[in-house]
Structure 1
């Protein structure tokens, strides 16, 4: 029986490259995406395209209602997205409370159901916007919690692992890796806005532009 992995696939740059890393190393992939009250679906459309073209065995889109509370600018149109600042030291208002914790919990349930040993997530604590749920400390403790609350380790002898291959990687190196793995970056969406073209000024756009420039790779989204 081949190795199975669940990939958290948003359709952004990080999760798409993570998908291709998983494709390289695992035999059977299960992609998991979410609608959680975000104000646009551009990223999700890219996730669907990437999952189809990567040949995943199954792609599930799970509906959550994380917009039912809080005032995150990604889920509430009345809250303007803060101007981009790649040097920021505080958490921006695009942070969705405990989003990665929720996503990983659902992924753990999915992984246990399909017999997958690994969950891939494309977080990094090198080039990021200061989200607390993108840090290695969180990933390590979340993995421990998952294995304390699931049966895989008891029944198979091995735990469910959370693979965060970019946790200590510069986004520029991630772009280079993606190019090497044949990622079609034209079908990724990073911008916090859902317009026809990326806004070019939000945190995500600035980090993406910096990464492609440092990597010396043209960004097909300009």
Structure 2
């Protein structure tokens, strides 16, 4: 999970949702010298505008390639992000694991990133999880990232043949304001990103879901103007 610089042009797979955290993670990977192969997942999320944002972010930051895979996690449901029958919480961030948790999402995404990394001959995967200003998701914790990295180094041909894989989570210990400040120093245009759990088709944010609240509070704490487009 430790950040390391790369050899010039060394490939890394970066999970890119189109939100603030993943955009910052991509900028960090690029600044570290990696050639970034970005992977986004169309998993049936109701905030599909984030996929358009991911494409814009990948182009702006200079990704080597950007792919979008279709997963249909909405066939299972079980989350407010994939099941229209479950309401998005709008009354403020509450303790515990919220209904916006998507079962096994990060595990599925990291597994796909791992597969692409093997094909690319890459030893590095970047993910923008955060264990400080987050909504209580169990797959955003440091121990989860460590466990997945350990599994990956047992389960892949590359690792068995001596090519150790690293899962980079450069935001894991940062607050939202620190993440924003880091991104600004790297030139991230946060106006391109979409974080809202129920953004409209044009990417405008609701301003009241957990993700919007955490994002807005981050800009306020950083003393920076919030470039987010809100519906009201």
Instruction: Give me the TM-score of the superposition, normalised by structure 1.
Output: 0.95
Does the Cα contact within 8 Å between 1:4 and 1:26 map onto a contact in 2?
A: no
Does the Cα contact within 8 Å between 1:5 and 1:26 map onto a contact in 2?
A: no
Q: Secondary structure at the match of 2:156?
A: coil
What are the residue-to-residue correspondences of 1:124-203 with 2, within 5 Å?
A: 124-155=130-161, 157-195=162-200, 196=202, 197-203=204-210
Q: Corresponding residue for 1:13?
A: 20
Separation in structure 2 between the aligned mates of residue 84 and residue 162 of structure 1, nearest angstrom: 34
Query: Shift in Å at residue 194 of structure 1?
Result: 2.1
What are the residue-to-residue correspondences of 1:10-89 with 2, within 5 Å?
A: 10-86=17-93, 88-89=94-95
Q: Secondary structure at the match of 1:6?
A: strand
Q: Secondary structure at the match of 2:39?
A: strand
Question: Where does the alignment leave 5 or more consecutive residues of structure 1 unmatched?
Answer: none
Separation in structure 2 between the aligned mates of residue 28 and residue 69 of structure 1, nearest angstrom: 34
Deviation string for 1:63-104 (max 9, x for gaps)? 101111133111111211112433x22111111001000000
Query: Shift in Å at residue 26 of structure 1?
Result: 2.6
Distance 1:84 1:117, change over 3 A: farther
Separation in structure 2 between the aligned mates of residue 174 and residue 40 of structure 1, nearest angstrom: 22
State the number of aligned residues: 220
Does the Cα contact within 8 Å between 2:37 and 2:63 map onto a contact in 1?
A: yes
Question: Where does the alignment leave 5 or more consecutive residues of structure 2 unmatched?
Answer: 1-7
Q: Does 1:97 align with 2:103?
A: yes
